[in-house]
Structure 1
Amino acid sequence: MTQTDGLPIHLTHVDPDQNMARFYEMSIQPTLFGEASLFRNWGRIGTRGQAMMVTYLEADEAVAAVAKLERQKRRRGYR
C-alpha cells in the first residue's frame, strides 16, 4: 500500500454548548484477494457507533477515499 503513514485516523468533534461529542475513525486493511478495504467507524463518544466497509480494487483508490473523507470531516470541525 502507499501513503498509509497516518493510518489509522481517529478524529473527534466535541462542542459542549451543543451537547456534541462525536468520533470518526478510518483505516485501510488488505483483503485476501489483493484488494484494499476502507473501514469506517463513527458515532457518539462512549458508544460503539456504526461501522461501514468499502472495498476498492487498488490500494491507491482507498488512500484517495481516506484523504477525501478526512478533508470533509475536518471542514465540519473534526480534529
Structure 2
Amino acid sequence: MQTNTEPRYLGRVIGVLESLAMGITPLGFILFGALSEWVSVAFLYTVCMVCLLSITLLAMYRIRHDIAAEKAAVSADAESA
C-alpha cells in the first residue's frame, strides 16, 4: 500500500488505516468476550492463531506473485527498449 500511494497522500492513508484499526479493537474485545462465554479460551486462541497464520501465508504468496509479475514486466520493458 505504501508503494502504491502517492507520497503526498501517504500520511492521510496511513492515518485512516490506523483509525480504523483503533476503532475495530473494541469490537474485537466485545466479540472475544462474548465468545469466551460459550467456547473455551484456548480454542479461541487456537482458531485466531490458525486464521492469522493462514492470512500471513496467503499474503506472502500474493506478494511473491506480484513481485514476479512486476519483474517480468520490467524485463519485458527492458527487452523492448
Range class of TM-score, shorter chain: 0.3 to 0.5
Larger radius of gyration: 2
In the superposition, the TM-score normalised over structure 2's length comes to 0.35
Structure with the higher strand share, 1 or 2? 1
Structure with the higher helix share, 1 or 2? 2
Larger RCO: 1 or 2 (CA < 8 Å, sep 6+): 1
In the superposition, the TM-score normalised over structure 1's length comes to 0.35
